[in-house]
A = this chain, B = another copy of it.
């Protein structure tokens, strides 16, 4: 036994919750998982540590600087910084064992040595789904992803949210038609529209050296408004003679049509021509989802279509479409904004409090309830009744059953609803039906 006491604390940038908050967090994670499974996605669970040469095959950039490397004399190992690179490696590695289209979900922690900042996490959960095709993948999959986003956020308790969609290749074709060479730079600027406004975007486009008429055309495009059908109509009426643009527009029409067929209400998805997503591997459809009443939270779920998942690991062409929910950040933001709160969260349905010598009979009651799959705890420690009731109260356990002489004699147990304070003497059968 050491005399030195180490101060118990965790590193900055790591989220750790009290049990009540953890229950809430887990409920959200369970809801996400349940919805992913309902849509036919299969689970995988890749290692947190992988070979650095695999994880960093793409190399360079911010990612590499943020990666946590493991100290080792013999092997260069790193911690995963997302779930997409491991997916690419997984699909390449088990290619011959998998059935395509391969629908996988993965919910797990990823690691990034981010700068220490409020709301930024160095360890956080990502909840990813992807549909990977073998050589090709139907565009209808791009419409099913919003349907799953809708189903998930609905069940998470949200009503007012908008899934914004766009087709990246359509924009690219549009820029081609304007003879803009570095379309990536222009996309980067346009992506900021919602954040910095039209005027600032225009200024940045001028700084890029674009001519006035070109900027005018871009403005007209991103300024297109109306319902989804109206936007598609307006895009058609632009009569742009560019193959990529028209291919993208055709895809957009199909995706919108099928999103409707998948019964996503019109108010929950919206073509947004300025949404382009920063990640450069998206080529087609892109999604960003926002809570209408809390725009400052930013996108709470994002994704898109990519041409080729795993070019670093295999010569197989593997197009895909997917999306990710950053659950740790989402949970943190929702709690900070008081949209969710753990005051009611409990997993245990009933606390059994034995009076004096009635521990044995309390255990018997617990056996009966647990056989009925009712989450039950017996308070086994000694102490005053008030302390025991207080324990149930503090843990948000909704019901308390007292077991004492009277109860054992009559077979009627004191059953207290901790929220209303109401107490009655009822049989074990009645308790079971109350708790179920």
Contacts and interface: CB of A to CB of B under 8 A. Distances in A.
A115 interface: no
A17 B315 CA distance: 23
A381 B53 contact: no
Contact of A5 (B77, B314, B377): B314
A125 to B, nearest CB: 9
A380 B37 CA distance: 17
Nearest to A131: B380
Interface string A6-48: 1111110011111100110110000000000111101111111
Nearest to A391: B99
A192 interface: no
Q: How large is the interface on A (under 10, 10 to 19, 20 to 34, 35 or more residues)?
A: 35 or more
A94 B58 CA distance: 42
Given A1-B311, A22-B45, A42-B23, A54 B140 contact: no
Nearest to A367: B263
B94 A18 contact: yes
Interface stretch (A63-71, A159-167, A398-406): A63-71
Given A22-B44, A47-B11, A38 B370 contact: yes
A248 interface: no
Contacts of A144: 378, 380
Interface string A99-130: 10101100001010000000000110000000
B51 A11 contact: yes
A151 interface: yes
A295 B25 CA distance: 39
B312 A50 contact: no
A363 interface: yes
A306 interface: no
Contacts of A38: 370, 373-376
Contacts of A71: 68-71
Interface of A: 1-2, 4-11, 14-19, 22-23, 25-26, 37-40, 42-51, 53-54, 57-58, 68-71, 75, 77, 79, 88-90, 92-94, 97-99, 101, 103-104, 109, 111, 122-123, 133, 136-138, 140-141, 144, 151, 258, 261-263, 308, 310-315, 347-348, 351, 359-360, 363-364, 367, 370, 373-378, 380-382, 391, 394-395
9 A-B pairs closest in CB distance: A40-B377, A19-B42, A8-B92, A8-B93, A8-B313, A14-B47, A69-B71, A138-B380, A40-B348
Given A5-B312, A10-B54, 4 more contacts: A6-B53, A10-B50, A69-B70, A140-B363
